[in-house]
Amino acid sequence: MRLEDEDGKDNFNQQLGKLYTEGQIMTKEWQFYIAGVRHHKIHEVMDELEVGGQLGLTLEPTNKYDPNAVRITKYDTMIGYVPGKISAQITAALTSGESDVTCEIVEFNPIEKPWKMCKVVVRKEDKK
């Protein structure tokens, strides 16, 4: 199965994530553009967003569209969601209890189209 984004680019690795080890730490990571940006309040924290900045991840199990929905926030301001195609994987990472999960901005362009404004990497680190 081949997955493509709105520009027709292959995003197969986005869904599966990338797995690598370094010393005694095994890391899995997913890179993606934040979904639903235009429907939330990214404009309220625009001045606070920068490459390398950390964002929060919050489970939203009562979401009527996706029981695995994961909100992405800056401080307490919701700026969007993890895309539905990988939300179950991110939910599993967050609920495993054995991992450190982080979300970092890797691309940010406030004048870009909303669905390409902010790209993040979510990393799950497990000690062997």
Asked if the structure places residue 7 within a domain, the reply is no
Asked if the structure places residue 5 within a domain, the reply is no
Reading the chain (128 residues) residue by residue, the pLDDT tens digits are 333 344 444 444 455 566 656 666 678 889 999 998 777 777 777 788 899 999 999 999 999 999 999 999 999 899 999 999 999 999 999 998 777 899 999 999 888 887 888 899 999 887 65
Asked if the structure places residue 81 within a domain, the reply is yes
Domain extent at residue 87:
26-127
Asked if the structure places residue 13 within a domain, the reply is no
Asked if the structure places residue 105 within a domain, the reply is yes
Asked if the structure places residue 8 within a domain, the reply is no
Asked if the structure places residue 121 within a domain, the reply is yes
Q: What is the CATH number of the domain that holds 83?
A: 3.30.70.2330
Domain count, the chain: 1
Contact 101, 51 (CB under 8 A): no
Query: What pTM did the predictor assign?
Result: 0.79
Please spell the DSSP secondary structure of 76-111, one letter per residue.
Answer: TEEEEE--TTTHHHHHHHHHSSS-EEEEEEEEE-TT
